[in-house]
Chain A
Amino acid sequence: MLVFIIKRLLNAVMVMLVVAFLAFLIFRVAGDPVELMVNEMSTQDDRDRLRESLGLNDSFITQYVRFVVNAAQGNFGISFRNGQEVLGLIAERFPATMELVLVATILSLLIGVPLGVLTAIHRGRWHSETLQFLSIVGVSLPSFVVGILLILVFSVTLGIMPAFGRGEVVQLGWWSTGLLTHSGRIALVLPAISLSLYQITLIMRLVRAEMMEVMRSDFIKFARARGVPRWRIQFRHALKNCLMPVITMTAMNVGALIAFALITETVFQWPGMGMLFIQAVTFIDIPVMSAYLCIISFIFVVLNTIVDITYALIDPRLRNATR
């Protein structure tokens, strides 16, 4: 077991090193950083001194190692655009994104699981088929389209929801939360719905497929033979056996949701990390871009590793399966 955990952790470290390499490469593609930082008045001497002080005369490998060491300590340099520390910029935006993602995740579980059960047990009936078709539509609607449509209906036409921003926020230490004020909660509604819609359809289809599989199994037949009430079979016996993959997928998708939040954040002008990233992309603000890439991948890899290890703890057969 210990061997498995160590292998899994080593694998995670390897992946992060490669991601860091990609993030480091972005700097190379963007051109000579000295040219981006000097002005016309700088002499060749200034340039050389700057080059030396930035360590650009060192070998490629040395520069990469220095980048990794700095990044591991949270030092991603300063933004090209406004000269602020990159980590500070991202930390300031982090709570906004996390609140959006967590609310969207909870929402998708609360709506997706019951709908999945419903479509599975009423398979073939018209309302179940309608939901199934709607789930295809939900998968096909890009999240920015959902956002635009929500704004058009609830903000422009009905005028009952704010279309952009985060409302009032309360500072709790370094964490700023919009959940404690009325305007903050109202502002969260539309972005959370638009972010969770895709997730809802995914969970719904997963629960449906799992339920249909479980309902065919022997222990369900046995429960039925024992005369257990039908709702109890469906919601206690069957659903319990479906929840494992659902929880796994939800946990693994949190990373993807953080990344996808950048689209929602752009539509709703939500002041999160994603909007910071998109602004950085349009201004070619390399340090912010590479830091964002590293941080998102880090969250992704950490979640995946935790899920893998938990799985191996629960199910011993997997320990040998993954080499």
Chain B
Amino acid sequence: MSSPVARDRIASANPAQPLPRPGRWARLRSSDLWWSFTHKPSAMIAAAVLVFLIVTAFAAPLIAPQNTYDPAELVLWNSEIPPIWTADGQMPFLLGTDTQGRDILSAILYGSRVSILIGIGSVILSLAVGLSLGLMAGYFGGFIDNILMRIGDVLLSIPTILIAILVSAMAMQALPPELREVGAAGVLILAITLSGWVQYARMVRAQTAVERNKEYVQAAQLLKVPSRRIMLYHILPNTLTPIMVAATLNFGLAILTEATLSFLGIGMPVSQPSLGTLIRLGNQFLFSGVWWVVIFPVVQLCFIVVSVNVLGDWLRDALNPKLR
């Protein structure tokens, strides 16, 4: 592959030719963000850990020693085997097994996949709802703005965890019993979104209300660019910087909320356990000395959330113009 950077250099040496637009990769490499990333070891380590965890979670069916969704693979014979490095450890079960003979490593891999999917799903949904409502409220103002801000006020005066618990409990109740297992992930995404979108909507609304009066927007309005296009292509990109930070941190928060709900028994069912469900199941055996059943899911959860938060922290500092 001929390096895009090299091509860039040749082009700039010959001013007669028009500069070719550098490729995406080259633009990324020369950005401030990339520079601050490569000069912050903690951010690079966090990114590497996170990529590793996500890849292994999604490759769970390929690499996990056991398919934990298949009850036929669970052998009661192999129950409560401690991790491999203890005296009683047995080979295929690196991190030991639980009381039903489920391999902990496999359960964690499959569980992380569930947790990460719910985290991504709820962040995307909150972004979609929050950004579009916030844009409209900030751009049009008036009635839509008033309604939206009032709804936001109410949602912010109820603790988020309470909203999530109530919504998922009531949605589960409203679903017909045969759909409850299948729809659990969707219900959780919905419950987390309902408390999460307000923050984005408020941020975008405030920024949009400022941008709306700037000259480039007025110019676009004079050219009769449709409002939808102005909002999406002209204003939105100028509001995204703080949103990126919030979305990163909220991804971690969403995984935590999901884990909490599952731990309380109102989240993912036992048939498709997330990390929170695994911790709840393991917690019941805390006093019988089977510590590995609860510790490893806890460690995995912490690794995911800590690496997301370290990245979010770095992003906040890197994008903050005051700290440059």
Contacts and interface: CB of A to CB of B under 8 A. Distances in A.
B158 A300 contact: yes
Interface residues of B, number: 40
A144 B291 contact: no
Contact of B310 (A15, A136, A278): A136
Given A151-B286, A296-B162, A281 B266 contact: yes
B75 to A, nearest CB: 28
Contacts of A19: 154, 157-158
B176 to A, nearest CB: 12
Given A29-B173, A142-B260, A300 B159 contact: yes
Interface residues of A, number: 45
Contact of B260 (A31, A263, A293): A263
Interface string A99-120: 0000000000000000000000
B265 interface: yes
B163 to A, nearest CB: 9
B287 to A, nearest CB: 6
A308 B96 CA distance: 54
Contacts of B301: 142, 145
A130 to B, nearest CB: 12
A265 to B, nearest CB: 11
Contacts of A246: none
Nearest to A141: B302
Interface stretch (B28-36, B135-143, B164-172, B226-234): B164-172
A281 B165 contact: yes
B117 interface: no
A144 B260 contact: yes
B150 to A, nearest CB: 8
A217 interface: no
Contacts of B264: 262-263, 266, 278, 281
Interface in A267-323: 267, 278, 281-282, 284, 289, 293, 296-297, 300-301, 304
B68 interface: no
Contacts of B256: 140, 142
Contact of B158 (A136, A267, A282, A293): A293
Interface string A150-167: 011000100000010000
Main secondary structure of the interface of B (DSSP, over half): helix
Interface in B211-262: 252, 256, 259-260
B279 interface: yes
Contact of B263 (A144, A256, A293): A144
Contacts of B265: 278, 282
A187 to B, nearest CB: 17
A26 B166 contact: yes
A137 B302 contact: yes
A148 B161 contact: no
| Residue of B289, B302, B308 most packed against chain A (CB within 10 A) | B302
A142 B283 CA distance: 14
B125 interface: no
Given A15-B153, A136-B309, A148-B279, A30 B159 contact: no
B267 to A, nearest CB: 12
Contact of B154 (A18, A142, A152, A296): A18
B298 interface: yes
A178 interface: no
B260 A289 contact: no
B12 interface: no
Contacts of B6: none
A264 B302 CA distance: 18
Contact of B169 (A256, A262, A281): A281
Contacts of A14: 150
Contacts of B286: 148, 151-152, 156
A90 to B, nearest CB: 14
Contact of A145 (B159, B170, B173, B298): B298
B259 A142 contact: yes
A133 interface: yes
A284 B302 contact: no
A144 B157 contact: no
Contacts of A30: 170, 173
A255 interface: yes
A149 interface: yes
A139 B173 contact: no
Interface in A28-78: 29-31
A192 interface: no
A278 B166 CA distance: 10
A287 to B, nearest CB: 14
Interface string B72-100: 00000000000000000000000000000
Given A139-B309, A145-B279, A281-B266, A259 B260 contact: no
A139 B253 CA distance: 9
A11 interface: yes
| Residue of A137, A256, A281, A293 most packed against chain B (CB within 10 A) | A281
21 contacts: A15-B153, A15-B154, A18-B154, A22-B158, A29-B170, A29-B174, A30-B170, A133-B42, A137-B306, A139-B309, A140-B302, A142-B301, A145-B302, A152-B295, A259-B162, A266-B263, A267-B283, A278-B165, A281-B165, A281-B264, A289-B169
Given A148-B283, A267-B283, 16 more contacts: A11-B153, A136-B309, A136-B310, A140-B305, A141-B305, A142-B259, A145-B279, A156-B291, A256-B159, A262-B161, A266-B264, A278-B264, A282-B265, A282-B266, A293-B166, A300-B159
**Which 5 A-B pairs give the minimum distances between C-beta atoms?**
A259-B159, A140-B305, A140-B306, A18-B154, A281-B169
Interface of A: 11, 14-15, 18-19, 22, 26, 29-31, 133, 136-137, 139-145, 148-149, 151-152, 156, 163, 255-256, 259-260, 262-263, 266-267, 278, 281-282, 284, 289, 293, 296-297, 300-301, 304
